[in-house]
Amino acid sequence: MRVGFVAAAAAVVICASAVLAPHAGAQQSTGQQAAPQGDAKAGQQVFQADGCWECHGTVAQGGAITGPRLAATALPFDAVLQQLRTPQNAMPPYEAAILSDGDAANIYAWLKTLPAAPAASSIPLLSN
Amino acid sequence: MSKRKDATGVGRRGFLKGAAIAGAATTLASPLTAQATPTPPKRVKVPQGVSEIQKAAETTAPASMSNLPKGAENLVSPTSGSDFMVEGFKNLGFEYLASMPGSSFRALQESFINYGKNTAPQWIECFHEEISVAMSHGYAKVEGKPMLNLVHATVGLQHASMAIYNAYADRVPIVVVTANIADATERRPGVEVDHTVQDGAVIVRDYTKWDDSPGGLQHFAESTVRAYQIATTPPMGPVLLVADSSLQENPIPEDEKLTHPKLPRFTDAQGDQNAVAEVAKMLVAAENPVILADRGQPGPNGVLNPLVQLAEVLQCSIVDIGGRMNFPTQHGLNQSDRRGAVLAQADLVVGLDMTDFWGVTHAYKDQLHRSSRPLLKPGTKTVSVTSANQFIRSNFQNFQRFTDVDLEISGDGAQTLPYLLEAVKKAMSDDKKNAFEARGKKLADARKASFKAAETEAASGWDATPISTARLCMELWNVIKDEDYSLVAATQPGGYWSHKLWKMDKSYHYLGDSGAYGVGYGAGGAIGSALGNKKHGRFSVSIMGDGELMVGPGALWTAAKYQIPILTVMHNNRFYFQEVMHLQAMANRHMRDPHTAKIGTEIADPNIDFAKMAESFGMKGFTVTDPAKLGDTLKTAAAIVKKGEPVLVDVVSQGR
């Protein structure tokens, strides 16, 4: 099928603000815990290999329609893990069978190393 | 069905002789321009009455036949039925005819070129019927009227079928002519038999508005005019004529008095006036009305201008669903970016020419257990104004889910809006005006905020390699913003960023999508739209997917051959990107190897060199991988377009 992602994509847009929001009834970590130590370099590799980049971009900058920016996320690790295991929108679930908690921690570590997005006002083409 | 007569010679001496070229073809009247008031009937100046061929035959000496050696009269003829057919097409003012050659219409092709002088319509050579029909589709979205298509019997029509379906789903008028030899005894053995059918039109009948297989020339003349009228009456769509090869190739019988019927002045269906008055009262009374606009009639006569007038009187939210350029992107009342928020607050939703009212008013989850929820609060009133239900078919279900609106008004959106505007003005009271102004100010503030948010979103990944789609779009905008531009085709990210950040306020600033989301529209559609824009001096630009272009790359050659100016910017993410995301979703759902989604979806290893490909087709090509070099390259390319040539810039880009 060549098509069909339009509706899904629209759903993502609608729910974008909730993409990584922690929610009640979490099956795994429920409290806000300190992020486990992760290997940022390994995390970058997993981010590319496991398809996270498809919706969030190769440097986690976020994609048009698909997924929000993740680079330098301010979200706690357990919220990220929660979204991976039981996503609240059209995001594909990443269960432990295909993405371990350790790999998730590595991805999180990489995301935290990324710089904050530049201000739009610092980019002439976006200073309207 | 008309018989070939050369085998027996019967009637040969009775053929019309010495046909002269018909007078200059007339053209359609100027596009309808009245938008503040209801559109007047379509006025088309079409010569009618006795065929010019027959008139000429009565007065012109058949010198070419009188000097023939004995026996030659059974070998040659100065005219043919195809000349008469061409005369009918010329009368309707077709500017262009797009086609991949095919022997089943060899007489028609020769008549268009020699009898018709290859002008109005001018023959545009294409490499595939999916390209030629898509060209017509794209052209009609600019001009609001059809381009002509000729497709080879059987094989060509099957090639064309997906492109015809796109036009059907997009409610765009195209006139397709194919051929056949109905009489089996008239068919040459071999290939001609392979290319003939019992009922050729059945291949596409489920997604054409009308078809006919005329049995005689007079019948063909009448069906030509009928086809044009049906195609251009909302809901617009494709029509098909079958020109039997025998009818094309046989000389015109002398004893047959042929005439071309006139195309009547005709009006499009408008909403019932009582119902329109009722909706006007609802709009005036509502606290948070929302008007949705999607896929009305294409071209300059769509809803854009009357919708701006209505919105400014009501000071209400407008959400452009994107089937057409329905509302200025930077207008304060444009709440398309805030669709979910305004629908959640709405107490009245009025949809104009909606393709999928249900889909827009519901959130849907594509998960293992699919689910949906309404976006509207209980009690919100819904109204639909559409002509789509005046023409609906069963098999192809692009009519989407049934929407249980409170009131459905059968009529064309653009035709109904002027009446709705007058009814709203009549229903308005002075005390409402202050409240409306306050509402409009809040909406304008929200639009400013969403614009700023989009700028912030676009900044993320600005210097990334591969180049971000936001940067691609904004570097492009910087090059075209002072031009009279037309975004003739765009991938999803292209449409996303342009609608968020570009200033778009003319019907041709954005021409929508393929209609049925069939990959393959983009290349031909873009070229067709650019051809429509050419005479207006507009700067055409497309944001083209790599997978999309590879369905019909031959369209680039057509652009080069006919010097159709267009800047093709490749959004080259080296994937069938929707598909890689779908495959990723399935692997994850099944908890299997998440690394495999690129198998069968990646367009890499080897990477396609689109710049070289463009060069091989006869146009200049550039490749950009460094975001810092994108702006200058686009400026260089734009200068080439302004000289009247096509050019391609391959931008190696992020997926979305």
Label residue B18 left, alpha or beta by phi (over 0 means left) and psi (-120 to 50 means alpha).
left
β B259-260/B348-352 pair status: unpaired
Cα–chain center distance at B437: 37
Q: How many CB pairs under 8 A join A and B?
A: 153
Least CA distance to B338: which residue of chain A?
A14
The per-residue pLDDT for A33 is 61
The one-letter code for the residue type at B585 is: A
Point out the residue among A6, A61, A98 whose CB comes nearest to the CB of B594. Answer: A98
Share above pLDDT 90 across residues of chain A, in percent, rounded to a whole number? 66
Alpha-carbon distance of B182 to B1, in angstroms, equals: 7
The per-residue pLDDT for B11 is 32
CA angle B536, B331, B346 (to 5 degrees): 130
- For residue B513, what are the β-bridge partners? none
Contacts of B294 in chain A (CB under 8 A): none
Distance set, CA A22 to CA A17, A55, A80, B358, B544 (Å): 11, 20, 8, 30, 38
Least CA distance to B514: which residue of chain A?
A3
Contacts of B597 in chain A (CB under 8 A): 51, 54
| B78-89 confidence digits (pLDDT tens) | 889 999 999 999
Contacts of A11 in chain B (CB under 8 A): 363-366
Average pLDDT value for residue range B403-411: 95
Helix spans in B545-646 (H): 546-551, 555-561, 577-589, 610-617, 627-642
DSSP state of B173: -
Contacts of B591 in chain A (CB under 8 A): 95, 97-98
B351 vs B67, higher pLDDT: B351
Rg (CA), chain B: 27
Least CA distance to A57: which residue of chain B?
B654
> Taken in order B164, B165, B170, B172, is the CA torsion positive or negative?
positive
β B174-180/B646-652 pair status: unpaired
| A37-48 confidence digits (pLDDT tens) | 999 999 999 999
Indicate the pLDDT class of residue B43, thresholds 50, 70 and 90: very low
| B218-262 confidence digits (pLDDT tens) | 999 999 999 999 999 999 999 999 999 999 999 998 888 999 999
The per-residue pLDDT for B57 is 66
Alpha-carbon distance of B267 to B262, in angstroms, equals: 15
Alpha-carbon distance of B523 to B265, in angstroms, equals: 35
Alpha-carbon distance of A20 to B319, in angstroms, equals: 27
Cβ contacts of B627 within 8 Å, gap of 6 or more: B462, B463, B464, B465, B467, B468, B471
CB atoms B492 and A9 under 8 Å = yes
The one-letter code for the residue type at B418 is: P
Point out the residue among B364, B581, B584 whose CB comes nearest to the CB of A11. Answer: B364
Average pLDDT value for residue range B319-331: 98
Best of A5, A55, A89, A121 to disrupt the B interface (most B CBs within 10 Å) is A5
The per-residue pLDDT for A12 is 37
Least CA distance to B370: which residue of chain A?
A90
| B292-312 confidence digits (pLDDT tens) | 999 999 999 999 999 999 999
Indicate the pLDDT class of residue B40, thresholds 50, 70 and 90: low
Cα–chain center distance at B652: 28
Helix (H, G, I), strand (E, B) or coil at B98: strand
Q: Does residue A14 have a pLDDT over 60?
A: no
Cβ contacts of A46 within 8 Å, gap of 6 or more: A52, A99, A103, A106, A107
Contacts of B589 in chain A (CB under 8 A): 92-93
Point out the residue among A57, A66, A123 whose CB comes nearest to the CB of B459. Answer: A123
Q: Does B397 touch chain A (CB under 8 A)?
A: no
The per-residue pLDDT for B514 is 96
CB atoms A51 and B492 under 8 Å = no
Average pLDDT value for residue range B605-622: 98
CA angle B579, A84, A89 (to 5 degrees): 60
Q: Does residue B2 have a pLDDT over 50?
A: no
Which pTM was predicted?
Answer: 0.90
The per-residue pLDDT for A85 is 98
Tell me what ipTM this predicted complex has: 0.87
The per-residue pLDDT for B134 is 98
CB atoms B459 and A66 under 8 Å = no
CB atoms B366 and A11 under 8 Å = yes
β B539-545/B566-572 pair status: parallel
First to last CA, chain A: 39
CB atoms B656 and A63 under 8 Å = yes
Average pLDDT value for residue range B124-133: 98
Indicate the pLDDT class of residue A24, thresholds 50, 70 and 90: very low
> Taken in order B157, B159, B163, B169, is the CA torsion positive or negative?
positive
Alpha-carbon distance of B46 to A125, in angstroms, equals: 50
Indicate the pLDDT class of residue A32, thresholds 50, 70 and 90: low
Alpha-carbon distance of B357 to B384, in angstroms, equals: 8
| B578-607 confidence digits (pLDDT tens) | 999 999 999 999 999 999 999 999 999 999
Contacts of A123 in chain B (CB under 8 A): 459, 462
Alpha-carbon distance of B111 to B154, in angstroms, equals: 21
- Taking a C-beta distance cutoff of 8 angstroms, is the pair B111, B244 a contact? no
Best of A59, A83, A95, A121 to disrupt the B interface (most B CBs within 10 Å) is A59
Best of B578, B598, B652 to disrupt the A interface (most A CBs within 10 Å) is B578
Q: Does residue B440 have a pLDDT over 80?
A: yes
The per-residue pLDDT for B62 is 55
Cβ atoms within 10 Å, residue B434: 9
DSSP state of B266: B
**Long-range CB contact pairs, B86-90, < 8 A, 24+:** B86/B111, B86/B112, B86/B115, B86/B116, B87/B22, B87/B51, B87/B52, B87/B53, B87/B260, B88/B220, B88/B221, B88/B224, B88/B225, B88/B260, B89/B116, B89/B121, B89/B148, B89/B224, B90/B22, B90/B25, B90/B116, B90/B120, B90/B121
Indicate the pLDDT class of residue B73, thresholds 50, 70 and 90: confident
The per-residue pLDDT for B239 is 98
The per-residue pLDDT for B13 is 30
The per-residue pLDDT for B63 is 55
The per-residue pLDDT for B22 is 32
Indicate the pLDDT class of residue B58, thresholds 50, 70 and 90: low
The pair of structure tokens assigned to B36 is 């503040």
Cβ atoms within 10 Å, residue B215: 13
**A34–chain B nearest CA distance, Å:** 27
DSSP state of A37: P
Q: Does B391 touch chain A (CB under 8 A)?
A: no
Q: Does residue B468 have a pLDDT over 60?
A: yes
CB atoms A15 and B655 under 8 Å = no
Share above pLDDT 70 across residues of chain B, in percent, rounded to a whole number? 91
Q: Does B581 touch chain A (CB under 8 A)?
A: yes
- For residue B371, what are the β-bridge partners? B365
Alpha-carbon distance of A36 to A14, in angstroms, equals: 31
Q: Does residue B289 have a pLDDT over 80?
A: yes
Alpha-carbon distance of B636 to B642, in angstroms, equals: 10
Indicate the pLDDT class of residue A127, thresholds 50, 70 and 90: confident
| B196-217 confidence digits (pLDDT tens) | 999 999 999 999 999 999 999 9
| B358-390 confidence digits (pLDDT tens) | 999 999 999 999 999 999 999 999 999 999 988
Q: Does residue A35 have a pLDDT over 70?
A: yes
Average pLDDT value for residue range A93-121: 97
Q: Does B202 touch chain A (CB under 8 A)?
A: no
Alpha-carbon distance of B529 to B526, in angstroms, equals: 5
The per-residue pLDDT for A34 is 72
Contacts of B492 in chain A (CB under 8 A): 6, 9, 64-65
Average pLDDT value for residue range A65-82: 96
Contacts of B580 in chain A (CB under 8 A): 51, 54
Instruction: Please return the burial class of B542, using the count of CB atoms within 10 Å of its CB with bins 0-12, 13-18 and 19+.
Output: buried
Question: What does pLDDT average to over chain B?
Answer: 91
- For residue B623, what are the β-bridge partners? B650
| B490-529 confidence digits (pLDDT tens) | 999 999 999 999 999 999 999 999 999 989 999 999 999 9
CB atoms B581 and A14 under 8 Å = no
Q: Which of residues 544 through 563 in chain B touch A, CB cutoff 8 A?
A: none
CB atoms B580 and A51 under 8 Å = yes
Least CA distance to A92: which residue of chain B?
B585
The per-residue pLDDT for B650 is 98
**A102–chain B nearest CA distance, Å:** 16
Q: Does B468 touch chain A (CB under 8 A)?
A: yes
Alpha-carbon distance of B283 to B278, in angstroms, equals: 9
